[in-house]
Structure 1
Amino acid sequence: MIFIKNGTIYTMAGDVIENGSILIKEGKIVEVGKDIIAPLDAEVIDAEGRMVTPGFIDAHCHLGMWEESIGFEGDDGNEMTDPVTPQLRAIDSINPMDISFEEAYQGGVTTAITGPGSANVIGGTFVAIKTYGNRVDDMIIKDPVAMKIAFGENPKRVYNAQSKSPMTRMATAAILRDTLFKAKTYLQKKERAEEPSKMPDYDMKMEALIPVLKKEIPLKAHAHRADDIFTAIRIAKEFDVDITLDHCTEGHLIADQLAKEGKPAIVGPTFGNRSKFELKNKSFDTPRVLFEAGIKFAIITDSPVIPLQHLPLCAGLAHNAGLPEIEALKAITINAAEIVGLQDRIGSIEVGKDADIAIFDGNPLKDIDCKTFATIINGEVVYKR
């Protein structure tokens, strides 16, 4: 057991508890509040008034897919030989022994939604993992958690260089539609088969898309520009599938229309330069405008674009641009958990949830010199300064 006392606890469940305590047992939070008595056999951590938050969550990154300090040998995020690769699984490329994992949890980031890059129209499945461990199989929260798709410049650039389709936005959309239609037909044949001999031949690509068609996981749509965002929504409607709008760089320009669509946005990476044309309207105003329009959103690093430990900095810069502080915290905790469908386990400090907790010397959204005092994942102290 672990007993945290004397903390300023941001539960992200509606309460900020001054001089509060948290009791952790068998990897779960079993009690939160004031005037809790520490069991005699508990390891006691005195927060001494420090800020205590749920472990931070990055709702879109590529942690472990592009390793630090090496090139091609650790570059495992894009299979740039076929624009349609739904059968690829992030878990088969992640190296949890890369230093980026240690830096992430030392920065208070305890969960990463990580997966393939955006070279392909359909890139493969993302996985939700904890950031501490040495074997990815033991770190999984949910696999798969989403199916990556991509619009805009990236697939165009990759396949134009190979003189093959897609070389236009039209072709990207057409390839996605064609694949989803084939998957729908494949699923219908499977469901209507009355005996094994009537089953369609096994197709690994089509099998991977069945959870999307059944709304067990969403499409995770790389879309920066407004027209690409609308194309993503259009296709999701055509096939009646769930979708998240990842990057959503021009979301602030179309917030009123996005609010009517009711799809969540996953915003970032906003820090850094405008490395391509579709980022020309990138702004830290985006989260504030989406919030004011009533759109649920998360803030991300897109690691390795921005190292994962700087996730609270990204939220802090959005706060500096006018987003209320508590909403900035939600964007990297409970909002992120809800958008990826994991709010029953992570994202807030509540009884029954995973004991993923970060303790900070200052406020990680506001204080440039803020340091992590301790990080707890699954009820285990994985870092203590």
Structure 2
Amino acid sequence: MLRPHTAALAAALGLVLAGAAHAQGDRPSSFAHDPYPSTYERIASPAVLIHGATVLTGTGERLEGADVLMADGRIVQVGRGLSLPAGATRIDGSGKWVTPGIIDIHSHLGVYPSPGTRSHSDGNEMTAPVTAAVWAEHSVWPQDPGFDAARAGGVTSLQILPGSANLIGGRGVTLKNVPAVSYQGMKFPDAPWGLKMACGENPKRVYGEKGGPATRMGNVAGYRAAFIDAAEYLKKNGQGDGDKTGASRKRGWWQSADSAGNGGKDKNGNGKRDLKLDTLAGAINGDILVHIHCYRADEMTTMLDLADEFGFKVAAFHHGVEAYKIADRLAASGTCAALWADWWGFKMEAFDGIQENIAIVDRPANSCAIVHSDSDEGIQRLNQEAAKVMAHARLAGIEIAPERAIGWLTANPARAMGIAARTGTLEAGKMADVVLWNGNPFSVYAKAEQVYVDGARVFDINDPSRQATSDFMLGQSAPGRAATGGVL
């Protein structure tokens, strides 16, 4: 007979796995084949019961004096008066807060690691305006000390993106924030790739003296040309003109080709596989989620029109200092906005920012506001960045409760990254990605005391043995590291 907590876990896990299987079955797979699959394995750990804390579930709920039970890598139950299973570890949460693990949707850790030497600069492939063939994961250096510092700030998952030099910069990858020797040991199993695009000043500046594009109209022409090629690529391989159910969708057409006897061509005699067009076709099909670096409201509306023209969806605009001007349209299109609390004014397209940006984007129904970092320093205190938004909103007469704001750091980025069925909220059956804070996480004094990834305690501010150190840092002096929880 199953113990009550075990039965609850089994039932919840069954629902999650069934949902994941359904989602995977519905999602096109031709361009989702991964020749570099995740080797991540959760760390085996005993059941843990955090007792008597203030719990923000990430679903909009706040529970006082509540418990969180984790076992076998999953959330088993959240509620009051939960029983301690045999062999479980009990953590006193009195006076403390529990949240889902923080998810940073926009990071360059590992591709622009610290130390930031020229030899480590691997985030921008500035060889052509469209470099959709490259994958950020092939630049990730897992020994980047920034991963450890981010973990100490409560970050349990993060999306690593290429830089913003190009119109289309390549694929991003989602990682679990655990120590590993290879990036595949960090790779979030079966998470969709992201496609990084950029509009505005960056590609103009980089390519204006390299043959273009040199203008915003040149940027848009560049996107359109690339997606026209991708649409033709789909059509040639039996997936154009709305054909989304062909047998070729079950496996990539190149996997069915007899390359030895067909000169590398597909079974229909079409041209060989093209890595750039694989990625763009995957974006059209929905295999790969589109993330766009874009600041101005007018350019974001243009990119939404571009998406409509070619039949793809924008998962999120990043940076978007003028997102507040189109909050209703973003919500209507189901597009998230991943934003800073108050960075602005460092170039012309970032000049019309306001400190209430995230709060305004968060107001419409179906909105999806996200606090992101784009910084190896900011990623260590994303909770405080969210707190700044709450404070400025309050000055403007907008009161935002902690149970609402936590979604900017957890549930909403999970939604935009395609992993919301498995993480981002404290619900039975989901991954036990959990942070125990010493108090209200939206306080300047807040510290992450314990961080769990899939139920394993991967950081503990009071236990040096649970404070991973990059091999690169071994033998180097870091005064006060233990006292600060590794956040330098």
Whether TM exceeds 0.5 here: the answer is yes
Matched, 1:185 2:232: yes
Q: Secondary structure at the match of 1:321?
A: helix
Q: Can you list the C-alpha shifts for 1:138-170, whole angstroms capped at 9, x where unaligned?
A: 22224542111110000001112x431111111
- Give the alignment partner of residue 355 of structure 1, picking from 432, 437, 448: 432
Give the corresponding residue for 1:370: 446
- 1:24 and 1:180, CA in 2 relative to 1: closer, same or farther beyond 3 A? same
Give the corresponding residue for 2:369: 297
By how many angstroms is 1:377 displaced? Answer: 0.7
Q: Can you list the C-alpha shifts for 1:195-250, whole angstroms capped at 9, x where unaligned?
A: 71423222111112222111122221111012211121110010010102222210
- The separation in 2 between residues aligned to 1:10 and 1:260, in whole angstroms, is 27
Percent same amino acid at aligned positions?
A: 32
Q: Secondary structure at the match of 2:324?
A: helix
- 1:22 and 1:260, CA in 2 relative to 1: closer, same or farther beyond 3 A? closer
Matched, 1:265 2:329: no
Higher gyration radius (CA): 2
Compare 330-339 and 252-261 and name the one that shifted more: 252-261
Give the corresponding residue for 2:84: 38
* Structure 1 unpaired stretches of 5+: none
- 1:32 and 1:256, CA in 2 relative to 1: closer, same or farther beyond 3 A? closer
The amino acid that maps onto 1:33 is: G
Q: Secondary structure at the match of 1:313?
A: helix
Matched, 1:47 2:47: no
Matched, 1:345 2:427: no
- 1:19 and 1:217, CA in 2 relative to 1: closer, same or farther beyond 3 A? same
User: What is the RMSD of the two structures over their aligned residues, measured on CA atoms?
Assistant: 1.9
By how many angstroms is 1:272 displaced? Answer: 4.1
- 1:14 and 1:314, CA in 2 relative to 1: closer, same or farther beyond 3 A? closer
Compare 195-204 and 207-216 and name the one that shifted more: 195-204
- The separation in 2 between residues aligned to 1:51 and 1:157, in whole angstroms, is 45
8 Å Cα contact 1:126-1:143 kept in structure 2: no
TM (norm. structure 2) is 0.75
- The separation in 2 between residues aligned to 1:91 and 1:33, in whole angstroms, is 38
Q: Can you list the C-alpha shifts for 1:10-62, whole angstroms capped at 9, x where unaligned?
A: 11224322222222222111222111111221122222230000001112222
Matched, 1:154 2:190: no
- The separation in 1 between residues aligned to 2:361 and 2:309, in whole angstroms, is 25
Give the corresponding residue for 1:227: 298
- The separation in 2 between residues aligned to 1:105 and 1:66, in whole angstroms, is 17
* Structure 2 unpaired stretches of 5+: 1-46, 240-252, 258-265, 462-488
Compare 371-380 and 26-35 and name the one that shifted more: 26-35
Equivalences for 1:160-239 in 2 at 5 Å? 160=208, 162-191=209-238, 196-239=267-310
Matched, 1:17 2:63: yes
8 Å Cα contact 1:120-1:149 kept in structure 2: yes
- The separation in 2 between residues aligned to 1:293 and 1:273, in whole angstroms, is 23
8 Å Cα contact 2:60-2:407 kept in structure 1: no
- The separation in 2 between residues aligned to 1:189 and 1:20, in whole angstroms, is 57
8 Å Cα contact 1:60-1:113 kept in structure 2: yes
- 1:345 and 1:209, CA in 2 relative to 1: closer, same or farther beyond 3 A? same
- The separation in 2 between residues aligned to 1:101 and 1:56, in whole angstroms, is 13
- The separation in 2 between residues aligned to 1:347 and 1:267, in whole angstroms, is 18
8 Å Cα contact 2:107-2:159 kept in structure 1: yes
Give the corresponding residue for 1:4: 50
By how many angstroms is 1:257 displaced? Answer: 4.0
The amino acid that maps onto 1:145 is: W
The structure with the greater share of residues assigned to strand is: 1
By how many angstroms is 1:310 displaced? Answer: 1.5
Matched, 1:250 2:322: yes
Q: Secondary structure at the match of 2:63?
A: strand
By how many angstroms is 1:123 displaced? Answer: 0.4
Q: Secondary structure at the match of 2:287?
A: coil
Q: Secondary structure at the match of 2:441?
A: coil
- The separation in 2 between residues aligned to 1:70 and 1:260, in whole angstroms, is 40
- 1:248 and 1:42, CA in 2 relative to 1: closer, same or farther beyond 3 A? same
8 Å Cα contact 2:52-2:65 kept in structure 1: yes
By how many angstroms is 1:256 displaced? Answer: 3.8
- The separation in 2 between residues aligned to 1:382 and 1:261, in whole angstroms, is 37
The amino acid that maps onto 2:194 is: A
The amino acid that maps onto 1:370 is: A
- 1:361 and 1:227, CA in 2 relative to 1: closer, same or farther beyond 3 A? same
Give the corresponding residue for 1:124: 170
By how many angstroms is 1:88 displaced? Answer: 0.9
